[in-house]
Structure 1
Amino acid sequence: MENVFDLTGKVAVVTGASSGLGADAALAYAEAGADVAVLARRVEKLETVKADIEKTGRKAIAVPCDVTDEESVKTAMQTVLDTFGHIDILLNNAGVAVRGGVDSMSVEDWDKSFNTNVKGIFLASKYVVPQMKERGYGKIVNIASVNAVIADKGDMFIRHSYNSSKAAVLGLTKGMAASYAQYGITVNAIGPALFETEMTGGTLFKSEKFLAGYNMMNPAGRPGKKGELNGTVLYFSSDASSYVQGQFIIVDGGGSIV
């Protein structure tokens, strides 16, 4: 039987790849056979991810990129194309979570969420989609959040700009999916819940009270573990999902169903 998850010969681009879920996904792509371009602002951390990928025998490049800046994104994507010749997979993973409600947060913090979480996907896709259309093939995976469809009332979780920007990612995913399916491009989204990453490790995972409550309410009884998002990432990035378009899979241990 053909291995529909095999990415041999494919080129994947991962934004926000310097740590956490992005770094994990980049390595998973390499282990599935793809060459990988890792993009982020922190080049020194990217070099570590690049070295890990190269240990698998796949090619990798580390490219500095600020997804909120058009020239930075344009230059980064051109570097990838100059190096590998094409891009098959785009994982839009770069994101931020800014705390605060509409009654207290600054306009600057509101804009920071939307510039990274939504504009970042727009810009990265803007400079990848044209060559995907020309080649008649492409896989775009947008990292949204379970908080695109559910919200929390606790003070620690008041993140109105995060809720709304991640919900916007779902709207963008559907729009792109409907428009680009005719060109052989699939566009889908993933909604992770709580995973221990650089973003959450210094905040949520430091609160024993929060973790106890989370574990009690979640059917799986725990947060996500390292690598547990990769299966969904590979599904949407491979030919296993060739007829799946504009969909949203939540990876949360069942937290959103109770």
Structure 2
Amino acid sequence: MMDDTLFSLAGRRALVTGASRGIGLTLARGLGRHGAKIVLNGRNPDALEAARTMLENEGLDAVTARFDVTDQDAVIAGVDAIEHEHGPIDILVNNAGIQRRAPLEQFSRADWDALVATNLNAVFFVGQAVARHMLQRGRGKIINICSVQSELARPGIAPYTATKGAVKNLTKGMATDWARHGLQVNGLAPGYFQTEMNENLVKDKEFTKWLCQRTPAGRWGQVGELVGAAVFLSSDASSFVNGHILMVDGGLTASV
């Protein structure tokens, strides 16, 4: 007999940061289609409301929670408000992230600080704030969005690579501290996907040719291909998976 509940997210609430567009919105929609109630986080109220309306028009249960994930006080207040107004956060997807590209010897302090604040500090701030509630309940799922750059470098993005490598090990540390209390903390690491953040790379014919030759699957990823991994890590199917970084990269990190 088939177990239809193994991947079901019915009755669970998922907070997705950076959810007004791109990978965040795609993952929010995917979790919602598997039964989760969605809380969309971001800083732009118009973009958040547009995303919420889009999901609602698809028959999904979605609300918004606007706060700056790089501001620890705002994060704590925002998470507490969600718990009070909407109910327990069962799933957290730490997705908010930015990219800055420049030769390392010319990289500015301002861009370095922005990357660390959004890509690393925010994962700690939101993860800690949500976990404090999860720990009291003895259950919860945290998914930190990592990257192939958690393992590999490429010219022009060394600081981004540093933040994503740190997120990988922060994920392992979270799992080490919190697994015994009933939480599963894992990383989801996309390869090269066609997103707004990668728009210039997608348009670069030389880069796309290199990428297709470098990736065993021979193509860019489509954001919808991340949903299955996110549902797995959010569901009972991953009840004994902890501290794992799940690469969804068309085989890029498996090949030389």
Q: 1:164-192 CA distances to partner (integer Å, 9 max, x unpaired)?
A: 10000011001110110111100000111
Alignment partner of 2:198 out of 197, 200, 211: 200
Alignment partner of 1:71 out of 70, 73, 76: 73
State the distance in 1 between where 2:56 and 2:198 align: 28
State the distance in 2 between where 1:246 and 1:6 align: 22
State the distance in 2 between where 1:84 and 1:29 align: 17
| Contact residue 12 and residue 88 of structure 1 kept, 8 A | yes
Alignment partner of 1:167 out of 165, 168, 176: 165
Residue in structure 2 matched with residue 23 of structure 1 by the alignment: 25
Residue in structure 1 matched with residue 234 of structure 2 by the alignment: 237
The answer as to 2:214 corresponding to 1:214 is no
The amino acid that maps onto 2:48 is: L
The amino acid that maps onto 2:188 is: I
Residue in structure 1 matched with residue 84 of structure 2 by the alignment: 82
Aligned residue for 1:113, secondary structure, equals helix
Q: Count residues with an aligned counterpart.
A: 253
Residue in structure 1 matched with residue 56 of structure 2 by the alignment: 54
Greater shift, 49-58 or 226-235, is seen at 49-58
| Contact residue 39 and residue 63 of structure 1 kept, 8 A | yes
User: Could you tell me how far 1:209 is from its partner in structure 2?
Assistant: 1.3
Q: 1:4-41 CA distances to partner (integer Å, 9 max, x unpaired)?
A: 11000000000010110000000111100010100011
Q: Report runs of 4+ in structure 1 exceeding 6 Å deviation.
A: none
State the distance in 2 between where 1:82 and 1:50 align: 20
| Contact residue 24 and residue 226 of structure 1 kept, 8 A | yes
Residue in structure 2 matched with residue 37 of structure 1 by the alignment: 39
What runs of 5+ residues in structure 2 fail to find an aligned partner? none
The amino acid that maps onto 1:57 is: G
Residue in structure 1 matched with residue 136 of structure 2 by the alignment: 134
State the distance in 1 between where 2:169 and 2:91 align: 20
State the distance in 2 between where 1:79 and 1:115 align: 22
State the distance in 2 between where 1:170 and 1:217 align: 23
State the distance in 2 between where 1:114 and 1:226 align: 24
What runs of 5+ residues in structure 1 fail to find an aligned partner? none
Return the TM-score normalized by structure 1.
0.94
State the distance in 1 between where 2:85 and 2:61 align: 10
The amino acid that maps onto 2:150 is: A
State the distance in 2 between where 1:234 and 1:52 align: 20
| Contact residue 19 and residue 197 of structure 1 kept, 8 A | no
User: Could you tell me how far 1:84 is from its partner in structure 2?
Assistant: 1.9
Q: 1:44-88 CA distances to partner (integer Å, 9 max, x unpaired)?
A: 111122123223434211121211111221232123112222110
Return the TM-score normalized by structure 2.
0.95
The amino acid that maps onto 1:235 is: F
Identity of aligned residues (%): 39
Alignment partner of 1:248 out of 242, 245, 248: 245
The amino acid that maps onto 2:172 is: K
Residue in structure 1 matched with residue 220 of structure 2 by the alignment: 223
State the distance in 1 between where 2:59 and 2:162 align: 40
Aligned residue for 2:224, secondary structure, equals coil
Residue in structure 2 matched with residue 181 of structure 1 by the alignment: 179
The amino acid that maps onto 1:12 is: A
State the distance in 2 between where 1:193 and 1:169 align: 15
